């Protein structure tokens, strides 16, 4: 067994990642004081490589330490985190701090630095896509999974005049990265199945891979799954409760699109409004949940439990289900399973009526005087 220590690496000038260096070794070398591996650990914790869960706060801590030791991997990763947070001025400064030293390390054959330079050239203005592709290819050839995952996804679509579409090579590269537990590869493969790029379109397989990526706390996978489940896209059964829970997870990590979607959908805040007991019911789609709620409300088929019924109806109503909105309005009207509130009762019945529920329309007319 080859044992790595920080002292050996430093003395032999071998401070670089290679395919024989696993995640646990990266952690140990970071703890031993290597600025290179501290920066690399920050990258892994941000991007979920080698099967680790995404942890932005911990990623930032390790990157700060690396950056304070003047290592470009630290400043590069801080730039990426600043981009996630929407601070483009800070990101630009960090990228500028990292670029020159990263380019030197990339030219010396460091696969991680090659990938980082590829990302900078690909997405930071002024971009240089041909050079970025060259960096990705070189890093991929050395075996860096994130480069393989990125290049594989690019081959599936192709870039006119720059990269020929090659689905066979794209899937091969993604498969190599998946075997290395690359979150980037898992997510990209899921998106490939979702759109039918290089593989037969298969929403079930897409969701399977997106769930794997989500299980590593990846905000983009959480957002994508959330939208798919809430809107019932690609032939999937709608599941508003689970979809909203995924969006809440993404929003808690400052995913801007998830936050905006929730603000628009829920009307005011991105704070979690779904009872925790509901979030665990990830196997129910909307139809099943609605039936369970009605049974709890009527006591037919299940024990009558107004509190349980309200808990089940509310997220469906927030998700736009007219019948659930009517029941929420009724329960707010009567105070069964929730606090009595005539104003909220009117609002929920109005939502249901606007969505075409005739019973809600009749109730609004019948109790018009009470709602004034």
List the CATH number of the domain containing 348: 1.25.40.10
Kindly indicate the confidence band of residue 19, based on its pLDDT and cuts at 50, 70 and 90: very high
pLDDT at 272 over 60: no
Residue 132 lies in a domain: no
How many domains does one find in the chain? 4
Q: Do 199 and 299 lie in a common domain? A: no
pLDDT at 78 over 90: yes
Residue 175 lies in a domain: yes
pLDDT at residue number 318? 81
Q: Do 188 and 261 lie in a common domain? A: no
- pTM beyond 0.75: no
pLDDT at residue number 253? 86
Q: Do 209 and 170 lie in a common domain? A: yes
Q: Do 292 and 370 lie in a common domain? A: yes
pLDDT at residue number 250? 92
Residue 137 lies in a domain: no
pLDDT at residue number 242? 85
Q: Do 205 and 274 lie in a common domain? A: no
pLDDT at 98 over 60: yes
As a whole number, mean pLDDT of residues 81-94 equals 89
As a whole number, mean pLDDT of residues 189-214 equals 91
Q: Do 171 and 207 lie in a common domain? A: yes
Q: Do 166 and 100 lie in a common domain? A: no
pLDDT at residue number 372? 61
The tens digit of pLDDT for each residue in 334-362 reads 888 888 788 888 888 888 888 888 888 88
Q: Do 51 and 87 lie in a common domain? A: yes
C-alpha atoms less than 13 angstroms from C-alpha of 340 in its C-beta half-sphere: 5
pLDDT at residue number 3? 36
Residue 91 lies in a domain: yes
As a whole number, mean pLDDT of residues 50-69 equals 95
Residue 133 lies in a domain: no
pLDDT at 13 over 60: no
Question: 215, 236, 271 — which closes off a domain?
Answer: 215
Q: Do 207 and 222 lie in a common domain? A: no
Q: Do 9 and 120 lie in a common domain? A: yes
pLDDT at residue number 266? 61
Q: Do 263 and 330 lie in a common domain? A: no
Question: 166, 182, 215 — which closes off a domain?
Answer: 215
pLDDT at residue number 267? 54
The tens digit of pLDDT for each residue in 129-155 reads 999 999 999 999 999 999 999 999 999
Residue 190 lies in a domain: yes
Query: In the predicted model, what is the mean pLDDT of the chain?
Result: 86
As a whole number, mean pLDDT of residues 179-187 equals 95
Kindly indicate the confidence band of residue 278, based on its pLDDT and cuts at 50, 70 and 90: very low
Residue range(s) defining the domain that contains residue 21: 1-124
pLDDT at 273 over 50: no
Question: 124, 153, 179 — which closes off a domain?
Answer: 124
pLDDT at 80 over 70: yes
Residue 13 lies in a domain: yes
Residue 174 lies in a domain: yes
Q: How many beta carbons lie within 10 A of that of residue 329, not counting itself? A: 26
pLDDT at 286 over 70: yes
Q: Do 311 and 342 lie in a common domain? A: yes
């Amino acid at each position: 067994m080859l044992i790595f220590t920080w002292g050996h690496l430093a003395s032999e000038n071998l401070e670089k990642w290679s395919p024989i260096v696993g995640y646990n070794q990266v952690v140990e070398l970071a703890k031993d004081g290597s600025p290179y591996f501290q920066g690399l650990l920050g990258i892994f914790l941000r991007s979920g490589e080698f099967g680790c869960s995404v942890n932005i706060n911990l990623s930032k801590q390790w990157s700060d330490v690396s950056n304070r030791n003047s290592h470009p991997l630290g400043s590069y990763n801080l730039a990426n985190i600043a981009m996630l947070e929407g601070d483009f001025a800070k990101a630009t400064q960090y990228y500028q701090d990292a670029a020159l030293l990263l380019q030197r390390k990339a030219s010396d054959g460091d696969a991680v630095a090659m990938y980082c330079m590829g990302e900078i050239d690909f997405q930071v203005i002024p971009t240089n896509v041909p050079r970025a592709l060259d960096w990705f290819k070189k890093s991929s050839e050395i075996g860096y999974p994130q480069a393989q995952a990125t290049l594989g996804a690019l081959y599936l679509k192709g870039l006119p005049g720059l990269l020929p579409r090659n689905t066979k090579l794209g899937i091969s590269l993604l498969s190599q990265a998946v075997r290395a537990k690359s979150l980037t590869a898992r997510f990209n493969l899921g998106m490939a199945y979702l759109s039918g790029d290089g593989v037969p379109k298969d929403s079930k397989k897409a969701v399977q891979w997106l769930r794997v990526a989500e299980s590593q706390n990846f905000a983009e996978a959480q957002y994508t799954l959330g939208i798919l489940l809430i809107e019932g896209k690609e032939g999937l059964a709608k599941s508003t409760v689970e979809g909203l829970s995924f969006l809440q997870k993404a929003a808690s990590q400052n995913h801007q699109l998830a936050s905006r979607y929730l603000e628009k959908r829920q009307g005011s805040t991105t704070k979690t409004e779904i009872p925790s007991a509901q979030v665990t019911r990830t196997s129910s789609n909307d139809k099943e949940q609605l039936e369970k709620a009605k049974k709890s409300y009527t006591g037919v088929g299940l024990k009558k439990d107004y509190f349980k019924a309200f808990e089940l109806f509310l997220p469906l109503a927030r998700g736009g289900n007219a019948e659930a909105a009517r029941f929420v309005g009724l329960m707010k009207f009567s105070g069964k399973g929730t606090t009595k509130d005539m104003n909220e009762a009117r609002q929920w019945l109005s939502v249901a009526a606007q969505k075409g529920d005739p019973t809600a329309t009749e109730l609004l007319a019948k109790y018009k005087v009470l709602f004034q």
